[in-house]
């Protein structure tokens, strides 16, 4: 079947990015490939298989549903669910050898009542005000867990709040200090654990955050965590080459002429000043192509930029192709990625809609076919 709209995912790019990070962390530090949220839009199961084959020792997901899908797809490496699991679903997670993030007493009590061998990672709150316990609660928390001999404390971890969005990493360093205090407590309690703190930005910028394992997320897909992270990496002379793995393509559904003075699309937001040839693109905000790209976004046709005119609709939008001598229906259109010498980067789209590259790729509708090349 020919696809009307599809994503092409470059396996070699993902493998390349994994190898780049392995160079930074060495072979003694474990590598967790973070594949939550449909692998940041790239396809959960396929990316997990690529990462596993490329040497990732762990996989990180947000939900039990994601973890179970990986297990049903014959993936055997350890999986950590970093998001919340409902108490009634904990038994299913344990039965499928899935490691659990814990940070409240109710979860521990429920696991203890199941009388099953469970592996848990204690989440430490060091500055995000999200899920997690404070370091000064850790000793009592560990004691509570140890009351149930079948619960194995497998890991302790935290997450940085402000290591990506700034070139001033003083807050992150304070978080790291708090985490090291938590590790001292864990040592006093005589537990052997996998310590992990580093997201993509931390992996690249600060070796002292690597500990026993790192969590490789956005940069596995070829994107810098932020422009500030890129600048910081250059200042610190971190030589790493990231290759974006995703190209989003579609096809022209119609080509038509619009006379001068005509309005285009909903709300009559754009009026054509001269006779114009336009192309109808069968993608819209249902697909995850943001409505804020109305009248400001671009696509690539024949290797040339074509400006969006009027509003992005639910399932389509219009572009100006007046400058293209030849343009036909079903001609390939690139929404994200390269075509000939021109490129539309995820970061360009993020800037135009006032968000981050994470959101642009993660929100691409999971029902759109992913083709792995």
C-alpha span between 35 and 121 (Å, rounded): 18
Sign of CA dihedral 251, 265, 256, 339: negative
Pair type for strands 213-216 and 194-198 = parallel
Q: Which residues contact 140 (CB under 8 A, 6 or more apart)?
A: none
Residue 36 appears among annotated catalytic residues: yes
How distant is the alpha carbon of residue 293 from its chain centre? 21
Residue 372 appears among annotated catalytic residues: no
Q: Which residues contact 136 (CB under 8 A, 6 or more apart)?
A: none
- Give 81's strand partners: 61, 100
Sign of CA dihedral 42, 48, 53, 57: positive
Of the candidates 197, 200, 198, the one whose C-alpha atom is nearest the C-alpha of residue 233 is 200
C-alpha span between 243 and 224 (Å, rounded): 10
> Which residue in the list 53, 134, 257, 266 is annotated as catalytic?
266
- Positions annotated as catalytic residues are 36, 266
């Amino acid at each position: 079947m020919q696809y009307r709209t599809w994503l092409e995912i470059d396996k070699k790019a993902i493998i390349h990015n994994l190898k780049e990070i392995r160079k930074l962390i060495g072979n003694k530090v474990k590598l967790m490939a973070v594949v939550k949220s449909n692998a940041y839009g790239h396809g959960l199961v396929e990316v997990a298989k690529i990462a596993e084959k490329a040497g990732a020792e762990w996989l990180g997901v947000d939900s039990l549903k994601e973890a179970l899908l990986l297990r049903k797809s014959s993936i055997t490496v350890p999986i950590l669910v970093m998001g919340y699991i409902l108490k009634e679903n904990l038994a299913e997670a344990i039965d499928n050898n899935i490691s659990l993030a814990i940070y409240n007493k109710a979860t521990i009590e429920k696991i203890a009542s199941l009388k099953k061998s469970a592996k848990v990672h204690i989440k430490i709150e060091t500055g995000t005000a999200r899920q997690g316990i404070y370091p000064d609660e850790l000793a009592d928390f560990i004691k509570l867990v140890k009351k149930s001999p079948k619960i194995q404390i497998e890991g302790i971890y935290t997450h940085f709040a402000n290591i990506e969005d700034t070139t001033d990493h003083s807050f992150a360093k304070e978080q790291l200090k708090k985490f090291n205090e938590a590790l001292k407590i864990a040592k006093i309690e005589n537990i052997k654990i996998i310590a992990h703190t580093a997201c993509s930005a931390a992996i690249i910028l600060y070796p002292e955050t690597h500990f026993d394992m790192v969590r490789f997320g956005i940069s596995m897909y070829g994107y810098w965590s932020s422009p500030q992270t890129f600048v910081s990496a250059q200042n610190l002379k971190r030589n790493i080459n990231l290759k974006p793995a995703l190209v989003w393509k579609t096809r022209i559904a119609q080509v038509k002429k619009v006379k001068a003075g005509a309005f285009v699309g909903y709300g009559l937001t754009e009026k054509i000043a001269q006779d114009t040839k336009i192309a109808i693109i069968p993608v819209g905000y249902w697909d995850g192509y943001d409505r804020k790209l109305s009248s400001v976004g671009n696509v690539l046709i024949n290797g040339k930029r074509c400006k969006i005119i009027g509003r992005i609709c639910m399932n389509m939008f219009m572009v100006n192709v007046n400058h293209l001598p030849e343009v036909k229906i079903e001609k390939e259109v690139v929404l994200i990625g390269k075509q000939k010498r021109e490129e539309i980067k995820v970061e360009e789209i993020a800037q135009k809609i006032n968000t981050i590259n994470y959101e642009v790729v993660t929100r691409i509708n999971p029902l759109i076919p992913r083709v792995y090349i």
